[in-house]
Amino acid sequence: MAHLEINSLVKKFAKTKAINGISLKIFDGEMVGIIGKSGAGKSTLMRLINRLIEPTSGSITYNDIEITALKGKNLREWRSECAMIFQQFNLIDRLDVLTNVLSGTLGINFKILKLFKFYNKREKIEALTYLNNFELSDKALQRVDTLSGGQQQRVAIARAMMQNPKILLADEPISSLDPKNSKVVMDDIKRINNQNGITVICNLHSLNIAKQYCDRLIGLSEGKIVFDGNPSSLTNELAEQLYDLENE
Amino acid sequence: MSNKLLEKHLSLYSSQLKTRKLWNILVVFLLTISFLISSTIIDFNFSNIVNGVPRLGDYISQILPSLDINLIFENSETEGSIKYWYFNFKKYAFLLYETFNMAVVSTTIGFVLALILSFFSARNITPNIYGYYFVKRFLEFLRGVPEIIYAILFVWALGIGPLAGIMAISIHTTGALGKLFAEVNENVDLKSCEAIRSHGGNWLSEMRYGIIPKVLPNVISYTLLRFEINIRASTVIGFVGAGGIGQELYLVINFNYYEEVSAIILLIIITVIAIDISSSRVRQKIVGEIND
Amino acid sequence: MTDKDIISLCPRAFQPIWKRSPIVFTGFIFFVSYFLFCLYLFDFSVSKIVIGFSNMKPVLTAMVTWKDFFNWNFSSIFSGLAQTLGMAFLGTFLATLVCIPISLIASKQFFKISIIRFLIKRLLDIIRGVDILIWAIIYVRAFGLGPFAGLLSVFTADLGTLGKLFSEAIDNADTKQIEGMKATGASKIAVIRFGLFPQIFPIFISQSLYFFESNTRSAVILGVVGAGGIGLQLTERMKAQYWDQSLFIILLILIMVTIIDTISRIIRMKIINE
């Protein structure tokens, strides 16, 4: 079965080892939650997967393709198969919602005309369909920074979907949102995982949410995996150790 | 506070005051020396000023028009009327139009080139570190050489006329705007770029969607400011034969057509002030709209 | 939902660009056409530029072949540089001194007679509307060739710009400190000295230093019309077609300007951090 395999991955920043030897396998269709306190290496791990950051040593393979060795066009192709959503949405503030969603196609289907904001009809229809599913189609031509946080994150999800990704990397997607919007966004992510079969790897700092939505939890502490398994088998002691404090 | 603490504070304070005073004396000393040295070099002394001022007054009164209040609106044959003062108005108007167009064209060319080059001379987004050093030094060189020097060279190469002026001002503008644009690029927040990269976008897409929307208001503002400066530059670049109203002004000054001097200078002042005002209005409007 | 339904959700997105954002579109088309029209007016053609650059080739080669290096007239070159620095320094210095009282008068906070304020501001505008080179020509006519005319040009041009900047700084000054001083019943001069000066003095110095930088550049070109300095040395050599010496002078100018830039930046940083 198709899977993402990480082998003895190490990432050093100056003298600190942010990722200190991680090995794991993630199979297609899983919804994995990565938990741990700030600085444990969650964001770094995520960015190593789509190579926004380069590893110091170790390897990542997907279906026997060496991700860590990809270059140029192949690397960009891999990145377009891994969609990413961010804690601060990382949308293009001054542009409208529709263009933001359409910019997700820059990887899978790059055309010079797109630099001038000319996209083809099929892509516009696809983008509007996603926006419509999120009930945001009436805001399609509004500037994206006029939307609320929850709405912006959903625009980011729509943008990610335009890539037809195999993997969705969600880097603290709800950390900037209030509880109500957090639920909406996590529901959307869960639905994407269920309906489209997209593998989801999700950084979460809220243990409750992680337990609620993810099939599998991976706990990171100081760059190493300290837990890997079903949420129900996460004991309270282990949870406290992960977060150095009371369970939320 | 105990006495000891108070004493300690007082002595610290007075020693700081002393250092401050010493610094001030040093600065005043340096300034005076520079003043004296400069004055000797330039021959700036009282007698020169006293001798020169009446000559300046003479010159000014010569170039001012002799307008007779009774005849002000008479036709161009009558001495003392405005029409007589501005008998060459058609020529001036045409030259001013040419000057304006020179500024438009050179600012546009400079803007486009500077924008493209600024992506390479910004440390955080340049695709190639050697390219960065090269483009940065290149832009500094373009900016460092005064426009008029370029104009002299281009008049030599292309002949007298506005083409030389346009080339000269464009090249200098590229350097000046390039430096400003690169600074803006270096201070921009790279989150959108990261997002585009994570979608598999290439460097061009990152620049177009990640950087350009963020820097656009500053870029336009700087360009409009540069346009104001370039209008001024276009008015005087004709002094070396590079076209525009400067050529005519140089002529009338050298031939001592006194009243034409004031006529042209007045037109230049009006044009520059008009452009300054409209440019700042447009700048406010654009920055306001983009920030809506 | 069918494609048609989706399109009807946001029909404007599917319209051609001239319907979607007509203003931007027409503006862009207008600008491009005007630009091309100007190129036509100026008889611009790529062949001309190419011919021009090939004309430049002998000049450019001559610039980099330095002949007879040790016989060049170095004393005139370095005295030219000294003159330029002197013009820039003196001009900026005197203009700063004069602009301090002028800007006080021109600011709303300290002078109530608005007619005078208005006139001063307009006068400064007019001075700024005239490029420094024009002042240079006039002063050369009145005072003769040489750096004295250059000094006056720098001084006059700075009057206009520094005057405006200083009065803006005063107008934007924090009124709380001034009101505080006024409330103690201090005399007008004391209010200015203690309520206003500490705020604006760093700004004044900072602006003056910035303009000293910029004036060094301007002072260079004044020589082109005979107002002394290194510009005069440069133009003379260019007219005589001593291209190698010309490049040498240009490089010296660049070095001098860079040094002044750096010194000025360091001092300005220190002032801001005080």
What is the predicted pLDDT for the residue at A13?
Answer: 85
The Cα of A140 is separated from the nearest Cα of chain C by a number of Å equal to 7
Does the beta carbon of B216 lie under 8 angstroms from any beta carbon of chain A? yes
Q: CB-CB: which of B194, B199, B216 is closest to A104?
A: B199
Statement to judge: residues B109 and B241 lie in one domain: yes
Range of the domain at A71: 3-91+164-243
**Per-residue model confidence as pLDDT tens digits over A147-199:** 998 999 999 999 999 999 999 999 999 888 998 999 999 999 999 999 888 99
In a domain? residue B279: yes
Average pLDDT over residues C229-250: 86
Average pLDDT over residues A84-113: 90
Interface test with C, best of B41, B228, B240, B273 (most C CBs within 10 A): B41
Could you say which of B45, B62, B79 is where a domain stops? B62
- Both ends of chain B: CA-CA distance in Å? 56
CA dihedral of residues A218, A104, A133, C14 (deg, nearest 10): 180
Judge: B101–C143 Cβ closer than 8 Å, yes or no: no
Does the beta carbon of B251 lie under 8 angstroms from any beta carbon of chain C? no
From chain B residues 125-144, the ones with a CB under 8 A of any chain A CB are: none
Tell me the chain C residues in contact with residue B255 when contact means C-beta distances shorter than 8 Å: none
Statement to judge: residues B269 and B150 lie in one domain: yes
In a domain? residue A124: no
**Per-residue model confidence as pLDDT tens digits over A34-72:** 988 877 788 888 899 988 988 888 889 888 888 888 888
Judge: C7–A138 Cβ closer than 8 Å, yes or no: no
Is the pLDDT reported for residue C108 higher than 80? no
Statement to judge: residues B216 and B282 lie in one domain: yes
CATH number of domain containing B159 = 1.10.3720.10
Statement to judge: residues B21 and B133 lie in one domain: no
Judge: A115–B204 Cβ closer than 8 Å, yes or no: yes
Judge: B104–C258 Cβ closer than 8 Å, yes or no: no
Q: Which chain B residue is nearest to residue A144, measuring alpha carbons?
A: B292
Tell me the chain B residues in contact with residue C148 when contact means C-beta distances shorter than 8 Å: 42-44, 48, 52
Nearest to A215, CA basis, from A195, A198, A232: A232
What is the predicted pLDDT for the residue at B44?
Answer: 66
Judge: A141–C7 Cβ closer than 8 Å, yes or no: no
Q: Which chain C residue is nearest to residue B58, measuring alpha carbons?
A: C142
Tell me the chain B residues in contact with residue A103 when contact means C-beta distances shorter than 8 Å: 196, 199, 201, 205, 209
- Sequence-separated (6 or more) residues with CB below 8 Å from residue A51: A67, A68, A70, A75, A78, A79
What is the predicted pLDDT for the residue at B94?
Answer: 92
The model's confidence at residue C258, banded by pLDDT at 50, 70 and 90, is confident
Judge: C41–B55 Cβ closer than 8 Å, yes or no: no
The model's confidence at residue C82, banded by pLDDT at 50, 70 and 90, is confident
**Per-residue model confidence as pLDDT tens digits over B164-189:** 999 999 999 999 999 999 989 988 88
Tell me the chain B residues in contact with residue C235 when contact means C-beta distances shorter than 8 Å: 152
Give start-end residues of each CATH 1.10.3720.10 domain in chain C: 73-273
The Cα of C29 is separated from the nearest Cα of chain A by a number of Å equal to 15
Q: Which residues of B40-69 are buried (b: 16+ CB within 10 A; e: fewer)?
A: ebbebeeebeeebeeebeebeeebebeeee
Higher-confidence residue of A97 and B53: namely A97
Statement to judge: residues B26 and B107 lie in one domain: no
Is the pLDDT reported for residue C188 higher than 80? no
In a domain? residue B68: no
What is the predicted pLDDT for the residue at A246?
Answer: 41
In a domain? residue A19: yes
- B260, C121 in Cβ contact below 8 A? no
Neighbours of chain C (3+ CB pairs under 8 A): A, B
Statement to judge: residues B109 and B194 lie in one domain: yes
Does the beta carbon of C16 lie under 8 angstroms from any beta carbon of chain A? no
The Cα of A232 is separated from the nearest Cα of chain B by a number of Å equal to 33
Range of the domain at B23: 3-62
The residue to which tokens 């206009």 are assigned: C160
What is the predicted pLDDT for the residue at B1?
Answer: 56
What is the predicted pLDDT for the residue at B76?
Answer: 66
Judge: B268–C142 Cβ closer than 8 Å, yes or no: no
What is the predicted pLDDT for the residue at A247?
Answer: 43
- B225, B28 in Cβ contact below 8 A? no
Statement to judge: residues B124 and B173 lie in one domain: yes
Judge: C14–A124 Cβ closer than 8 Å, yes or no: yes
The Cα of A129 is separated from the nearest Cα of chain C by a number of Å equal to 7
The Cα of C217 is separated from the nearest Cα of chain B by a number of Å equal to 7
Strands A65-66 and A57-62: antiparallel
In a domain? residue A48: yes
In a domain? residue A121: no
Q: Which residues of chain B have pLDDT under 50?
A: 292
Q: CB-CB: which of B41, B253, B276 is closest to C83?
A: B41
Q: Which chain B residue is nearest to residue C151, measuring alpha carbons?
A: B42
Statement to judge: residues B103 and B219 lie in one domain: yes
Statement to judge: residues B99 and B134 lie in one domain: yes
Given the candidates 1.10.3720.10, 3.40.50.300, 1.10.275.10, 1.20.1250.20, the CATH classification of the domain at C73-273 is: 1.10.3720.10
Statement to judge: residues B95 and B48 lie in one domain: no
The Cα of C1 is separated from the nearest Cα of chain A by a number of Å equal to 9
Statement to judge: residues B39 and B131 lie in one domain: no
The Cα of B187 is separated from the nearest Cα of chain C by a number of Å equal to 18
- In angstroms, the CA B244 to CA B240 distance is 11
Tell me the chain A residues in contact with residue C6 when contact means C-beta distances shorter than 8 Å: 125, 128-129, 132
Q: Which chain B residue is nearest to residue C56, measuring alpha carbons?
A: B157
Burial of A116 per CB tally in 10 Å (0-12, 13-18, 19+):
exposed
The model's confidence at residue A248, banded by pLDDT at 50, 70 and 90, is very low
CATH number of domain containing A193 = 3.40.50.300
In a domain? residue B152: yes
Burial of A91 per CB tally in 10 Å (0-12, 13-18, 19+):
buried
Strands A224-229 and A216-221: antiparallel
Is the pLDDT reported for residue C196 higher than 80? no
Judge: B195–A86 Cβ closer than 8 Å, yes or no: yes
Strand intervals (E) in chain A: 3-13, 16-27, 31-35, 57-62, 65-66, 82-85, 167-171, 199-203, 216-221, 224-229
Judge: A106–B199 Cβ closer than 8 Å, yes or no: yes
Q: How far is CA A82 from the centre of its chain?
A: 8
Model ipTM value: 0.86
Q: How many domains does chain A have?
A: 1
Neighbours of chain B (3+ CB pairs under 8 A): A, C
Report residue C14 as tokens. 């599917």
In a domain? residue B80: no
Burial of B250 per CB tally in 10 Å (0-12, 13-18, 19+):
buried
Is the pLDDT reported for residue A200 higher than 90? yes
- Model pTM? 0.85
Does the beta carbon of B197 lie under 8 angstroms from any beta carbon of chain A? yes
The Cα of C265 is separated from the nearest Cα of chain B by a number of Å equal to 15
Q: CB-CB: which of B34, B157, B253 is closest to C141?
A: B253
In a domain? residue B34: yes
The Cα of B210 is separated from the nearest Cα of chain C by a number of Å equal to 21
Tell me the chain B residues in contact with residue A110 when contact means C-beta distances shorter than 8 Å: 201-202, 205
Tell me the chain B residues in contact with residue A95 when contact means C-beta distances shorter than 8 Å: 209, 213
What is the predicted pLDDT for the residue at B173?
Answer: 96
Judge: C12–A137 Cβ closer than 8 Å, yes or no: no
Statement to judge: residues B159 and B219 lie in one domain: yes
Does the beta carbon of C4 lie under 8 angstroms from any beta carbon of chain A? no
- In angstroms, the CA B145 to CA B142 distance is 6
In a domain? residue A173: yes
Q: How many domains does chain B have?
A: 2
The Cα of B195 is separated from the nearest Cα of chain A by a number of Å equal to 6
Report residue C158 as tokens. 């700075």
Interface test with B, best of A90, A108, A116 (most B CBs within 10 A): A90
